[in-house]
Amino acid sequence: MSNFVLGLDFGTNSCRALLVDLSDGRELASSVFAYPSGEAGVIVDPADPNLARQNPADYLLGIEYTVRQVIGEARRTLADFSPDEVVGIGVDTTGSSPMPVDSYGMPLCFDERFKDNPAAMVWLWKDHTSFAEAARITGLAAKMRLRYLAKIGGTYSSEWFWSKILRLKDTAPEVYEATASVVEVCDWIPALLTGETMPGIIRRSVCAAGHKAMFSREWGGLPDEEFLEALSPGLGQLRAKLYDEAATSDCRAGYLAPAWANALGLSEKTAVAVGAFDAHMGAVGAGVSPGTLVKIIGTSTCDVMISPHDQQLQDIPGVCGIVDGSVINGYFGIEAGQSAVGDIFLWFVNNLVPESYGSTPDERFRQLELAATQLKPGESGLLALDWNNGNRTILVDVRLTGLLLGQTLHTRPHEIYRSLIEATAYGALVIIDRIEEYGVPIREIVNCGGLAVRSPLLMQIYADITGRPMKVSRSEQTPALGAAIFGAVAAGKEAGGYATVEDAQRTMTGTRTTYLPDQDAHAVYARLYALYHQLHDAFGTPRWSGGLYNAMKDLLTLRDEVRKAT
Amino acid sequence: MSNFVLGLDFGTNSCRALLVDLSDGRELASSVFAYPSGEAGVIVDPADPNLARQNPADYLLGIEYTVRQVIGEARRTLADFSPDEVVGIGVDTTGSSPMPVDSYGMPLCFDERFKDNPAAMVWLWKDHTSFAEAARITGLAAKMRLRYLAKIGGTYSSEWFWSKILRLKDTAPEVYEATASVVEVCDWIPALLTGETMPGIIRRSVCAAGHKAMFSREWGGLPDEEFLEALSPGLGQLRAKLYDEAATSDCRAGYLAPAWANALGLSEKTAVAVGAFDAHMGAVGAGVSPGTLVKIIGTSTCDVMISPHDQQLQDIPGVCGIVDGSVINGYFGIEAGQSAVGDIFLWFVNNLVPESYGSTPDERFRQLELAATQLKPGESGLLALDWNNGNRTILVDVRLTGLLLGQTLHTRPHEIYRSLIEATAYGALVIIDRIEEYGVPIREIVNCGGLAVRSPLLMQIYADITGRPMKVSRSEQTPALGAAIFGAVAAGKEAGGYATVEDAQRTMTGTRTTYLPDQDAHAVYARLYALYHQLHDAFGTPRWSGGLYNAMKDLLTLRDEVRKAT
- pLDDT one-digit tens code per residue, A487-534: 999 999 999 999 999 999 999 999 999 999 999 999 999 999 999 999
Q: Which of A89, A68, A75, A70 is nearest to A22 (CA)?
A: A89
Kindly provide the b/e burial profile for residues B478-488, where b requires at least 16 CB atoms within 10 angstroms of the residue's own CB: bbbbbbbbbbb
pLDDT tens-digit series, residues A143-182? 999 999 987 878 899 999 999 999 999 999 999 999 999 9
Q: Which of B141, B19, B123 is nearest to B68 (CA)?
A: B19
- Residue B336's φ and ψ, nearest 5 degrees, are -135, 180
Residue A544 has pLDDT above 70, yes or no: no
Whether the CB of A45 is below 8 Å from some CB of chain B: the reply is no
Using omega within 30 degrees of 0 as the cis cutoff, is the peptide bond preceding A96 cis? Answer: yes
Residue A1 has pLDDT above 80, yes or no: no
Q: Which of B488, B188, B210 is nearest to B327 (CA)?
A: B210
Q: Which of B397, B318, B424, B385 is nearest to B536 (CA)?
A: B385
- Using CB atoms within 10 Å of the CB of residue A203, give its burial: 0 to 12 exposed, 13 to 18 middle, 19+ buried: buried
- Name the residue among B381, B401, B538 with its Cβ closest to that of A556: B381
Q: Which of A2, A33, A3 is nearest to A480 (CA)?
A: A33
Whether the CB of B411 is below 8 Å from some CB of chain A: the reply is yes
- Using CB atoms within 10 Å of the CB of residue B563, give its burial: 0 to 12 exposed, 13 to 18 middle, 19+ buried: middle
The CA R_g of chain A, rounded to the nearest whole Å, is: 23
pLDDT tens-digit series, residues A265-294? 999 999 999 999 999 999 999 999 999 999
**Nearest-neighbour CA in chain B from A319: distance (Å):** 23
Grade residue A190 by pLDDT with cuts at 50, 70 and 90.
Answer: very high
Alpha carbons A216 and A224: distance in angstroms, whole number: 11
Alpha carbons A60 and A224: distance in angstroms, whole number: 34
pLDDT at B545: 58
- Following DSSP, what letter does each residue of B121-181 receive, concatenated? SEE-TT--TTHHHHHHHHHHHHHH-HHHHHTTTT---TTSHHHHHHHHHHH-HHHHHT-SE
**Nearest-neighbour CA in chain B from A160: distance (Å):** 20
Residues B408, A401: C-beta atoms closer than 8 Å: yes
Three-state DSSP class for residue A97 = coil
Whether the CB of A528 is below 8 Å from some CB of chain B: the reply is yes
Mutation target to probe the A interface, by most A beta carbons within 10 A, among B45, B346, B558 is B558
Task: Give the strand pairing for A43-45 and A252-255.
Answer: unpaired
Side chain identity at residue A402, one-letter code: G
Q: Which of B183, B176, B180 is nearest to B202 (CA)?
A: B183
Whether the CB of B379 is below 8 Å from some CB of chain A: the reply is yes
How many contacts, defined by CB atoms under 8 Å, are there between A and B?
A: 181
pLDDT tens-digit series, residues A318-343? 887 889 999 999 999 999 999 999 99
Identify the bridge partners of residue A308 per DSSP, sorted by sequence position. A331
Q: Which of B295, B524, B282 is nearest to B418 (CA)?
A: B524
The whole-number average pLDDT for the span A543-555 is: 84
Residues A406, B556: C-beta atoms closer than 8 Å: yes
> What residues 456-475 of chain B have any CB closer than 8 A to a CB of chain A?
none
Contacts of A532 (CB under 8 A, 6+ apart): A383, A385, A423, A426
**Nearest-neighbour CA in chain A from B354: distance (Å):** 4
- What is the SS3 string spanning A174-201? HHHHCCCEEEEHHHHHHHHHHCCCCHHH
Q: Which residues of chain A does B363 touch, with a Cβ-Cβ cutoff of 8 Å?
A: none
Q: Are A357 and A367 in contact (CB under 8 A)?
A: yes
Whether the CB of A551 is below 8 Å from some CB of chain B: the reply is yes
Contacts of A25 (CB under 8 A, 6+ apart): A474, A475, A481, A507, A508, A509, A510
Q: Are B323 and B206 in contact (CB under 8 A)?
A: yes
pLDDT at B422: 98
The CA R_g of chain B, rounded to the nearest whole Å, is: 23
Alpha carbons B45 and B559: distance in angstroms, whole number: 15
Higher pLDDT, B397 or A385: A385
Whether the CB of B354 is below 8 Å from some CB of chain A: the reply is yes
Contacts of A27 (CB under 8 A, 6+ apart): A18, A19, A20, A21, A475, A477, A481
Q: How many CA atoms are closer than 13 Å to the CA of B62, on its beta-carbon side?
A: 27
Q: Are A199 and A179 in contact (CB under 8 A)?
A: no
Using omega within 30 degrees of 0 as the cis cutoff, is the peptide bond preceding A485 cis? Answer: no
> What residues 387-406 of chain A have any CB closer than 8 A to a CB of chain B?
388-389, 401-406
pLDDT at A321: 80
Whether the CB of A416 is below 8 Å from some CB of chain B: the reply is yes
Q: Are A126 and A72 in contact (CB under 8 A)?
A: no
Residues A353, B354: C-beta atoms closer than 8 Å: yes
Closest residue, chain B, to A387 (C-alpha)? B408
Alpha carbons A300 and A345: distance in angstroms, whole number: 11
Alpha carbons B35 and B107: distance in angstroms, whole number: 17
Mutation target to probe the B interface, by most B beta carbons within 10 A, among A398, A401, A557 is A401
Side chain identity at residue B162, one-letter code: W
Alpha carbons B196 and B184: distance in angstroms, whole number: 14
pLDDT at B321: 80
Alpha carbons B433 and B413: distance in angstroms, whole number: 30
Alpha carbons B101 and B241: distance in angstroms, whole number: 11
Helix A278-285, helix A478-491: angle, nearest 10: 80
Whether the CB of A524 is below 8 Å from some CB of chain B: the reply is yes
- Following DSSP, what letter does each residue of A209-231 receive, concatenated? HHHHS--BGGGTBSPPHHHHHHH
Chain-wide mean pLDDT for chain A?
Answer: 95
Alpha carbons A412 and A290: distance in angstroms, whole number: 43
DSSP-derived letter for residue A203 is P
pLDDT by residue for chain B (566 residues), tens only, comes to 579 999 999 999 999 999 999 999 999 999 999 999 999 999 999 889 899 999 999 999 999 999 999 999 999 999 889 999 999 999 999 999 999 999 999 999 999 999 999 999 999 999 999 999 999 999 999 999 999 998 787 889 999 999 999 999 999 999 999 999 999 999 999 999 999 999 999 999 999 999 999 999 999 999 999 999 999 999 999 999 999 999 999 999 999 999 999 999 999 999 999 999 999 999 999 999 999 999 999 889 999 999 999 888 888 888 878 899 999 999 999 999 999 999 999 999 999 999 999 999 999 999 999 999 999 999 999 999 999 999 989 998 889 999 999 999 999 999 999 999 999 999 999 999 999 999 999 999 999 988 999 999 999 999 999 999 999 999 999 999 999 999 999 999 999 999 999 999 999 999 999 999 999 999 999 999 999 999 999 999 997 556 899 999 999 999 999 998 87
Using omega within 30 degrees of 0 as the cis cutoff, is the peptide bond preceding B63 cis? Answer: no
CB atoms near residue B496 (< 10 Å): 18
Task: Give the strand pairing for A276-277 and A86-93.
Answer: parallel
Q: Which of A519, A421, A511, A416 is nearest to A461 (CA)?
A: A421
**Nearest-neighbour CA in chain A from B142: distance (Å):** 28
Residues A559, B379: C-beta atoms closer than 8 Å: yes
- Name the residue among B401, B527, B559 with its Cβ closest to that of A379: B559
CB atoms near residue A34 (< 10 Å): 13
pLDDT at B167: 98
Alpha carbons A4 and A84: distance in angstroms, whole number: 9
Task: Give the strand pairing for A122-123 and A48-54.
Answer: antiparallel
Residues A411, B527: C-beta atoms closer than 8 Å: no
Closest residue, chain A, to B49 (C-alpha)? A410
Q: Which residues of chain B does A534 touch, with a Cβ-Cβ cutoff of 8 Å?
A: 548, 550-551
Q: Are B318 and B394 in contact (CB under 8 A)?
A: yes
Q: Are B140 and B163 in contact (CB under 8 A)?
A: no
- What is the SS3 string spanning A122-167? EECCCCCCCHHHHHHHHHHHHHHCHHHHHCCCCCCCCCCHHHHHHH
DSSP-derived letter for residue B378 is T
Alpha carbons A253 and A262: distance in angstroms, whole number: 19
Angle at A461 between CA A460 and CA A466, to 5 degrees: 105
pLDDT at B154: 84
pLDDT tens-digit series, residues A16-75? 999 999 999 999 999 999 999 999 999 999 889 899 999 999 999 999 999 999 999 999
Three-state DSSP class for residue B553 = helix
pLDDT tens-digit series, residues B286-306? 999 999 999 999 889 999 999
pTM: 0.86
DSSP-derived letter for residue B273 is E
